[in-house]
Chains A and B, each alone.
Chain A
Amino acid sequence: GAVVSQHPSRVICKSGTSVKIECRSLDFQATTMFWYRQFPKQSLMLMATSNEGSKATYEQGVEKDKFLINHASLTLSTLTVTSAHPEDSSFYICSARSRGVTDTQYFGPGTRLTVL
């Protein structure tokens, strides 16, 4: 199946710093990428939908100035958590949908963010 990578897989940072997470589709072009957040023992929550070459669409309650999304190419989307706080500690997962046919989304392996 299609492969999506995320980098880094794990990051620990101090409160107030910014963290960038990359999501890449390795063997297909992703017109749309999605960013999710998952807290322990909870479901994945969609944060934003990112379309290549246009601004991301954020879900209600997600601050667009805090979670900056850039989808500059058909294979790369980045999520930057700005001025991170301990409550931003979570598992961040991206997914990518290939151009054309199916509704199937392929997930990256996730990034575990810990803010001290």
Chain B
Amino acid sequence: RKEVEQDPGPFNVPEGATVAFNCTYSNSASQSFFWYRQDCRKEPKLLMSVYSSGNEDGRFTAQLNRASQYISLLIRDSKLSDSATYLCVVNRNSSASKIIFGSGTRLSIRP
């Protein structure tokens, strides 16, 4: 079983739709959680950190459920520019700071 698992998609949704991704992690001692986006043939870029209380940044909302060991990302009013691969990232141990990437969920927004 992978340490961080995501549905690979692709999710193909119309512009303006709301879309949500989940990501599960297996190591209950994981400390920090992030969502990154990666455009084709580019490096990942940090989208947002995920806090225990949940956090929102504009159209993006991230939530963490430690009991069930999953994090989620909700995108409201999706734009064409949101088309990308979204990577769930888990920091296994904050002192060692090794981060584990999920395989990513591909999102395609259609006009």
Contacts and interface: CB of A to CB of B under 8 A. Distances in A.
B32 interface: yes
Interface residues of B, number: 22
A65 interface: no
B110 interface: no
Contacts, number: 46
B65 interface: no
B41 A103 contact: no
B44 A49 contact: no
B62 to A, nearest CB: 15
A110 B43 contact: yes
Contacts of A112: 41
B103 A103 contact: no
Interface of B: 31-32, 34, 41-46, 49, 87, 91, 94, 96-104
